[in-house]
Amino acid sequence: QVQLVQSGAEVRKPGASVTVSCKASGYSLTSNFMHWVRQAPGQGLEWVGQMNPRGDTRTYAQKFTMTRDTSTNTDYMEVRSLTSADTAVYFCARDTGNYAPDYWGQGTLVTVSS
């Protein structure tokens, strides 16, 4: 069965960067788009970006860098120049093939605090 398992919670100081991982099982990352979504505490969902199945086209704001390791079937998202506004739970989510996520990771809490 399809599973997305994300890395654990992180704490960083303002100005630092953080990388969140998303390990897929039950399917190959090269078969579907992968979305990244974040949710600040008590707030709504925010679409951050996506990577195409080949891993060579990414759509996202400049703040984020998405990469892939096909040998471990793992996607990564780096968030740079962290501020308190980046404190959020970050989710990876596989696309259905029809413009929407279906399977979701459990989420990774990133806390930015001095």
Q: Are residues 84 and 113 in contact, defined by beta-carbon separation less than 8 angstroms?
A: yes
106 binds other proteins (CB under 8 A): yes
Which range touches other proteins (CB under 8 A), out of 13-21, 44-52, 67-75, 80-88?
44-52
55 binds other proteins (CB under 8 A): no
105 binds other proteins (CB under 8 A): yes
Backbone torsions φ then ψ of 56, nearest 5 degrees = -115, 0
31 binds other proteins (CB under 8 A): no
Give the span between the Cα atoms of 76 and 69, in whole angstroms.
8
Nearest Cα residue to 75 out of 19, 17, 8: 19
Cβ 25 to other proteins shortest distance, Å: 16
Cβ 43 to other proteins shortest distance, Å: 9
CA distances from 74 to 13, 18, 111, 112, 114 (A): 26, 16, 22, 24, 30
16 binds other proteins (CB under 8 A): no
Chain residues that interact with other proteins, rule: CB under 8 A: 35, 37, 44-47, 50, 52, 57, 59, 91, 93, 96, 98-102, 104-107
